[in-house]
Amino acid sequence: MSVEKEYIIPFEGLKVGKHDFSFQISDAFFEELEYSLIEKGEVKATMVLEKKETMMIADIQLTGFVSSACDLCTEPLQIEVDIDHHLVFKFGEGESEDENLIMVDSSDFKINMGPIFYEVLTVSLPNKNVHEEGECNEDMLDLLDKYSGSDDDGDDDDDSDIDPRWKALKNLN
């Protein structure tokens, strides 16, 4: 990632205490990622990094918007972002099972925040990205209806294809 340098924090020279960082995440950031769920975006990332003797605590705030494809009509969809995230970087060996704890090897002297920002943004996206009702591309929705094979003739009372055991269960109400 050529924009990767913008998101690197060299923590080795930082004194013990709190340090403020600010980053701008733009379209170039998302274009560098091969299989990104996010197509574009303008996000301001601010971070307070508290360095301690054996760990660093990061309070991250991401505000702005990202653009992703609508799950129904595949047109671009703008999603507002306002995320507060808390991370702990602990110096030591091994892997952490806690998603908010990142182990930092004692030989490392910098942290690349780019992948962390991307992960926080993608995890915060809604499960289903769809436009507000009436805002989807009607032509695409018509094509979906045409080729989806759904039968919307209103024949909900057609019991001829239902297994007789299920018919009996319908009458329990």
Which residue in the block uniquely carries the two structure tokens 């980053």?
23
Q: Is the pLDDT of residue 1 over 50?
A: no
DSSP 154: S
Structurally, the chain folds into a number of domains equal to 1
Opening angle at CA 167, ends 163 and 170, nearest 5: 140
Residue 92 lies in a domain: yes
Q: Which residue has the tokens 């971070």?
A: 47
In a domain, 152, yes or no: no
Asked whether residue 172 is domain-assigned, the answer is no
Predicted confidence at residue 149, as pLDDT, reads: 66
Residue 169 belongs to some domain of the structure: no
Please write the tens of the pLDDT for every residue from 113-145: 999 999 999 999 888 888 888 888 888 888 888
81 pLDDT more than 90: yes
Domain range for 100: 2-146
Please give the model's pTM, rounded to 2 decimal places. 0.77
Residue 159 falls inside a structural domain? no
Distance CA 117, CA 108 (A): 19
Q: pLDDT (tens digit, 9 = 90+) per residue, 17-73?
A: 999 999 999 999 988 888 888 889 999 999 999 999 889 999 999 999 999 888 888
Q: Determine the pLDDT at residue 98.
A: 87
Exposure of 25 by Cβ count < 10 A (0-12 exposed, 13-18 middle, 19+ buried)?
buried
Mean pLDDT throughout 79-91? 94
pLDDT, one tens digit per residue, over 96-116 is 888 889 998 888 889 999 999
The answer to whether position 42 is within a domain reads yes
Distance linking the first and last C-alpha atoms of the chain: 61
Closest CA relative to residue 38, chosen from 7, 64, 69, 75 = 69
DSSP tag of 98: S
